Homo-oligomer: A and B are copies of this chain.
Amino acid sequence: MPFQYQYPHPAVTTDVAVFALRDQQLQLLLIRRAQEPYKGRWALPGGFLEIDEDLDSCAKRELEEETGVADLYMEQLYTFGRPDRDPRERVISVTYYALVSADKLSLSPGSDAAEAAWFPLRRLPELAFDHAEIIHLARERLAAKTHYSTIAFQLMAETFTLSELQSVYEILRNEKLDKRNFRKWALSLNRLEEIGGKRRNGNHRPAKIYRLTAPDRVDIIR
C-alpha cells in the first residue's frame, strides 16, 4: 500500500454517457463489467482518474480503452458523490456526456471491459452503481440543449439530408416537428451548406445533401 495520506481521500472516476444514432434510434454505449462490484452488469464506460491526468483526458482515455470509440464531442455533465454510491470505497464520479456520429463509429472493446454494446435508450438493461441516474440527467440535458445550441449536429454523419436532420431533432425532443418550419429554422442558422448532389434512398424523389460549415463547432444559438 504505497500511497499514504494524512486524511482519507476519496477515489475519483469519470463516467461517460455516449449517445449515437443507430437504426433511427437514440442509443447509448455501455460496457459489461468484468470485475466486482456489479460484475456482469452493464455500466457506463469510465474508470479511475490517473494522478497526473486531466479530467477530460481521463474520460476520453477510459472510453477509448473500453470501447475503442475515440472521435466524439464531449461535455462535462455533473459530479456525483453520494457516499454509498460505490460499495468498495468512497468514489466521486465526474460525469460527461458525449455524442458520436454513426459514421465515425468503430466499436472495438478493449481489455478493461469484457464487452461493449449499444442499447436503445428505451431498452436499457439493469445498470451498475447510480448510472441510471446519470443517464437520465444526460438525456435531459441533451434534449434541453437542442433548443439553444447546435449540439444535435454532432450526431450527424459528415453529409446528411434535411429530413435526416429533422429526424434527429424529433428523436432528441421526442416530438414531431413541422417539415416546412423546421427547414426554415435549420437553414436560418447559417451552419448548413448544400454540397450539390442527391441522395437516393428509396423509391421516391432523392434529397439534397448538406454538410456543416463548421463540423466540430457547437454554438449557443438564439
Contact = CB atoms under 8 A, between A and B. Distances in A.
Interface in A1-51: 1-12, 48-49, 51
A168 interface: no
Interface stretch (A74-82, A114-122, A150-158, A169-177): A74-82
Interface string A47-65: 0110111110000000000
A211 interface: no
| Total copies of this chain within the assembly | 2
Contacts of A79: 55, 76, 79, 94
A7 B1 CA distance: 8
A90 B54 contact: no
Contacts of A54: 81-83
A70 interface: no
B4 A53 contact: no
A92 interface: yes
Nearest to A10: B12
A147 to B, nearest CB: 9
A5 B11 CA distance: 10
A55 B3 contact: no
Given A55-B81, A81-B54, A9 B10 contact: yes
10 contacts: A1-B5, A3-B6, A9-B9, A9-B11, A49-B92, A51-B83, A52-B83, A54-B82, A55-B79, A79-B94
